[in-house]
Amino acid sequence: MDLLNPHEDRFDHLDPTSRELMRETIRFFENKGKAKLKEDDHERRWYADFLEFQAKHKLFATLLTPAEQADGDSNKRWDTARNCALNEILGFYGLPYWYTWQVTILGLGPLWMSPNTAMREKTARLLDEGGIFAFGLSEKAHGADLYSSEMMLTPLGDGKYVADGGKYYIGNANQAALVSTFGRDSDTDEYVFFAVETDHPHYECVKNVVNSQNYVAEYALHSYPITDQEILSRGRDAWDAALNTVNIGKFNLGWATIGICTHAFYEAITHAANRNLYGKYVTDFPHIQELFTDAYTRLLAMKLFSSRAIDYMRSASSKDRRYLLYNPIVKMKVTTEGETVINLLWDVIAAKGFEKDTYFEMAARDIRALPKLEGTVHVNMALIIKFMANYFFNPGEFPEIPRQNDAADDAFLFNQGPTKGLGKIQFHDFNTAYASRDLPNIQIFRDQIEALKGLLLKATPTEEQSKNMDFLLTIGELFTLVAYGQLIIEIADLDGVEDDLLDRIFDFMVRDFTRYAMDLYSKSGASEAQMEHCLKMVRKPVRNPERFQKIWQDRVYALKERYEMNP
């Protein structure tokens, strides 16, 4: 596995129709060219050309209609593997193009999950006609606190209602064919999801709250008439639909991040390799080689982890809910790693990263968004921590999951069931992966894991510490690294990633583990015993200059001038 190169990639892992859709999308952007891409970004121009392209080629319709709604079209299915390929491509060319697709996915979630057959059929038709969709969950005053939603649906009798209230930060809500709107029944106080149309006279698109190509709307419903036909779900089902939709959507943020970092990487390495200072190329400086190699291995690790996480998303079932751990890690860890990659590259290319003609300028701005959307890093970490005890101390038995690139429909994602019971979910034993590769840095990392387990068992966080989010966040970072490394090794085994590269990935993993251990050590509430365990986690990777040079030359420097967007 390597980084996406739009000029070279053939998407061989996909079926012929999907492959062609990916190539067609790449052609759209390459024909548009970099100058126009940048001009539209600077002018904050609504991406009507891209939406026209997607409608003409039925891009969203083919990729986002589950088989059940496909009406005999064998190309239509919900296939996480190919959706991620498109996520990566759209991120590669610009986050706004990805965002309109992403919020369409979110908007479709409660619609596809709904038992309302007529509404599902209408959705399939609108999508086939090229429609985009929106997800009206957030409200101005409440942020992550969904319990406080104030959008109200007032029953009038005879299956009729009126909806009143406002939503905030809602992508596509200027033009969406349907907006899935989350609110509460004013009589029963139960949650409810219903669909509204943006061209209805009682729908007000108040304003765009951001200054970008995207339309991230504030919208208001003023006595908007609703009937039972527009109701998607109620009560616990509506609540679950909100969270299960976010489960599907937030996975995409990691893949958009990978796309952004990849394009930025090509620009950075090509620039640095051609810039001569004091009679030397910038890429000849040892510290620049370190920065690039770190950026490359981090980026590849992001892709390896996220690829393996696809396998768990696609093989999920009510009996195998392991995806609920790996999915938030894609959302939270991969997106923050993306920020690190851009920081590293920016340290190399310095002033160039500000230039208006570069892709990098957009990447440096947009990369900040991804950790913050669809649940902040904190919210996802709070979720992940619930899995920690079973992950470390109570593994379950599961059949081995092979790679999941087949042209199958991921129907379970729209039938995920209740969102509770997270603490009971079991995982397969992480030691199996770690024992499968005998490499110096993996060995050190395993010692660090043992030290963490020692802390959890022998200097167990107190009740007070367990309620302190600040303390928990750092423990969560350490736990995340263990699961991150596990899936990286699993896919390295399945896809044959070579020892040198894998060991170099664990070079930064060991350093990151050490850094978080020091963070934990420094917490004001950390006990003497906990600090001692933290010191056992402080380790240094094995440095191998020969291996470093090999990776630098063969994998990293080799990417100079390998890709340049059509001007």
Q: List contacts with ligand FAD (CB under 6 A).
A: 103, 106, 135, 137-138, 143-144, 169-171, 210, 216, 369, 373-376, 378-379, 382, 469
Closest residue to ligand FAD, based on beta-carbon distance: 143
User: Smallest Cα–Cα separation from 441: which of 495, 490, 489?
Assistant: 489
Which of residues 379 and 408 has its CB atom nearest to ligand FAD in the complex?
Answer: 379
Q: What is the 3-state secondary structure (H, E, C) of 300-322?
A: HHHHHHHHHHHHHHHCCCCCCCC
Which of residues 113 and 369 has its CB atom nearest to ligand FAD in the complex?
Answer: 369
Which of residues 55 and 382 has its CB atom nearest to ligand FAD in the complex?
Answer: 382
Classify residue 139 as left (phi > 0), alpha (psi -120 to 50) or beta: beta
Which of residues 180 and 404 has its CB atom nearest to ligand FAD in the complex?
Answer: 180
CA distances from 59 to 29, 380, 553 (A): 14, 30, 38
Which of residues 59 and 373 has its CB atom nearest to ligand FAD in the complex?
Answer: 373
CA distances from 354 to 261, 282, 361 (A): 16, 18, 5
> To the nearest whole angstrom, how small is the minimum distance from the Cβ of residue 251 to ligand FAD?
15
Which of residues 84 and 170 has its CB atom nearest to ligand FAD in the complex?
Answer: 170
> To the nearest whole angstrom, how small is the minimum distance from the Cβ of residue 95 to ligand FAD?
9
Which of residues 280 and 467 has its CB atom nearest to ligand FAD in the complex?
Answer: 467
Long-range CB contacts (within 8 A, 24+) of 128-131: 128/58, 128/61, 128/65, 129/55, 129/177, 130/51, 130/54, 130/55, 130/56, 130/58, 130/60, 130/61, 131/176, 131/177, 131/178
Give me the residue label for tokens 């990978």: 258
> To the nearest whole angstrom, how small is the minimum distance from the Cβ of residue 378 to ligand FAD?
3
> To the nearest whole angstrom, how small is the minimum distance from the Cβ of residue 316 to ligand FAD?
23
Which of residues 378 and 453 has its CB atom nearest to ligand FAD in the complex?
Answer: 378
CA distance 528 to 550: 43
Which of residues 144 and 206 has its CB atom nearest to ligand FAD in the complex?
Answer: 144
**In sequence order, what are the residues at sequence separation of 6 or more whose Cβ sits closer than 8 angstroms to the Cβ of residue 111?**
119, 120, 123, 133, 178, 180, 195, 232
Which of residues 170 and 272 has its CB atom nearest to ligand FAD in the complex?
Answer: 170
> To the nearest whole angstrom, how small is the minimum distance from the Cβ of residue 220 to ligand FAD?
15
**In sequence order, what are the residues at sequence separation of 6 or more whose Cβ sits closer than 8 angstroms to the Cβ of residue 286?**
none
> To the nearest whole angstrom, how small is the minimum distance from the Cβ of residue 107 to ligand FAD?
8
For residue 315, which phi and psi values (nearest 5 degrees)? -100, 10
CA distances from 247 to 90, 109, 257 (A): 20, 10, 17
Alpha helices in 436-537 (DSSP H): 440-458, 463-467, 469-495, 499-522, 528-537
> To the nearest whole angstrom, how small is the minimum distance from the Cβ of residue 383 to ligand FAD?
9
Give me the residue label for tokens 């390929």: 85
Give me the residue label for tokens 């062609």: 20
> To the nearest whole angstrom, how small is the minimum distance from the Cβ of residue 426 to ligand FAD?
24
> To the nearest whole angstrom, how small is the minimum distance from the Cβ of residue 216 to ligand FAD?
5
> To the nearest whole angstrom, how small is the minimum distance from the Cβ of residue 136 to ligand FAD?
6
User: Smallest Cα–Cα separation from 452: which of 380, 383, 520, 540?
Assistant: 520
